[in-house]
Chain A
Amino acid sequence: MREVMLESPINYEQKCCVSFVLDVSGSMSGTPIDELNKGIQLFHEQILNDSTAANRLEVSIVTFGSTVDTIVQPSLVTNFSMPTLSTNGTTKLVDGVREGIRVVKERKKWYKDTGQPYYRSWVILITDGDPDAGQDVDGLRADINQGIKSKDFHFFAIGVQGANMKTLAHISSPDWPPASLKGLDFSSFFKWLSVSLGSSGVTGSKDGDTLKLTDPGIWMNGVPVS
Chain B
Amino acid sequence: MKKIQDALKTVLTSVGDQKQNKEAVKTVEPCWLAVADSVIGKSHISNHTVCQDNHYFGSFKQCPDWGIAVVCDGAGSAVNSHLGSEFVAKKVIPSLFEKAIIDAKWHLHSTAPSDEEWKELAWEQLKNTYLALKNHAENELGKELSSLSCTVIIVVYSPHGLFVTHIGDGRAAYCNEQGEWHPLIVPHKGEEANMTFFLTSITWLQHKHFELPNGNTIPESRIVRGKHRAFTLLSDGMEQHSFVCSSWDSVNEQWSDPNQAFSGFFDPLVKAIKSEITNEGLNASIHDGWKKILTSGTPQIANENDDKTMILAIHR
Kindly list chain B residues whose C-beta atoms are within 8 Å of the C-beta of A14. Answer: 193, 246
- A205 touches B (CB below 8 Å): yes
Q: How far is the CA of A114 from the CA of B268 in the complex (A)?
A: 35
A169 to chain B, nearest CB (A): 26
Asked if A207 meets B47 with Cβ closer than 8 Å, knowing A114-B253, A117-B192, the reply is no
Kindly list chain B residues whose C-beta atoms are within 8 Å of the C-beta of A204. Answer: 43, 305-306
Binds B, one of A5-13, A175-183, A216-224: A5-13
Kindly list chain A residues whose C-beta atoms are within 8 Å of the C-beta of B241. Answer: 8-9
- A2 touches B (CB below 8 Å): yes
Count of chain A residues with Cβ under 8 Å from any Cβ of B? 34
Binds A, one of B5-13, B205-213, B284-292: B284-292
> Which chain B residue shows the least CB distance to A210?
B77
- A146 touches B (CB below 8 Å): no
Asked if A207 meets B289 with Cβ closer than 8 Å, knowing A116-B255, A199-B305, the reply is no
Within 8 A of B (CB), among A108-130: 112, 114-120
B247 interface neighbour in A2, A12, A207, Cβ under 8 Å: A12
> Which chain A residue shows the least CB distance to B47?
A212
A61 to chain B, nearest CB (A): 23
- Pick from B76, B190, B288 the residue with the most CB of A within 10 Å: B76
- A133 touches B (CB below 8 Å): no
B284 to chain A, nearest CB (A): 10
- Are B77 and A6 in contact, with the CB atoms below 8 A? no
B175 to chain A, nearest CB (A): 16
- Are A207 and B76 in contact, with the CB atoms below 8 A? yes
- Are B43 and A118 in contact, with the CB atoms below 8 A? no
- B26 touches A (CB below 8 Å): no
Q: How far is the CA of A114 from the CA of B300 in the complex (A)?
A: 26
A-B contact pairs, 10 of them (CB 8 A): A4-B272, A8-B241, A9-B242, A11-B240, A11-B246, A14-B193, A112-B191, A117-B255, A208-B75, A209-B194
Ordered nearest first, which 6 A-B pairs have the shortest CB separation? A1-B289, A7-B264, A209-B76, A116-B255, A208-B77, A117-B193
